[in-house]
Amino acid sequence: MTLEHVAIWTNNLEALKEYYMKYFGAVSNNKYTNSKNHFESYFLSFSSGARLEIMSMPNIPGNQNDTIEKQHQGIIHLAFGVDTLEEVEAKAKQLQKDGYRILRGPRKTGDGYYEFETLDPDNNRLEVTAKYPE
């Protein structure tokens, strides 16, 4: 069994699509629009086969979870895996250079990974991680 996709509501559909395409190599389908309820979405596909659905529709309330200072139960982050520690470092530098906040890291974790934490344009928490060589 595989995890088919994860979905995110956004008010910044085009900006979020461009972010994941630019920084994480996503490939987008054509925008789906349901004019009856003003719903719009993209499916973003990654080389691993994973997909992210980003969706927009008027009157969806803002997220009450604080992904930066105080986390709460529920889905809290997406993790993107790379092959090497150098790729983790390079991605952190690229995002920071382009004005995105690095919350923690890059750092070695207690469970054998090298990672950093950041935020996408909607403040969704992301990790970029590689298995630490033993």
- Confidence at 2, pLDDT banded by 50, 70, 90: confident
Note the pLDDT of residue 112. Answer: 94
Does 126 lie in the same domain as 82? yes
Residue ranges making up the domain that contains 109? 77-131
As a whole number, the mean pLDDT across the chain is 93
Q: Is residue 61 part of a domain?
A: no
Per the CB < 8 A criterion, the answer to whether 117 and 133 are in contact is no
Note the pLDDT of residue 115. Answer: 97
Does 81 lie in the same domain as 49? no
The tens digit of pLDDT for each residue in 37-83 reads 999 999 999 999 999 999 999 988 887 777 777 777 778 899 999 99
Note the pLDDT of residue 62. Answer: 81
In 10 A of CB 63, how many CB atoms? 14
Does 125 lie in the same domain as 94? yes
Does 81 lie in the same domain as 51? no
Count of domains for the chain: 2
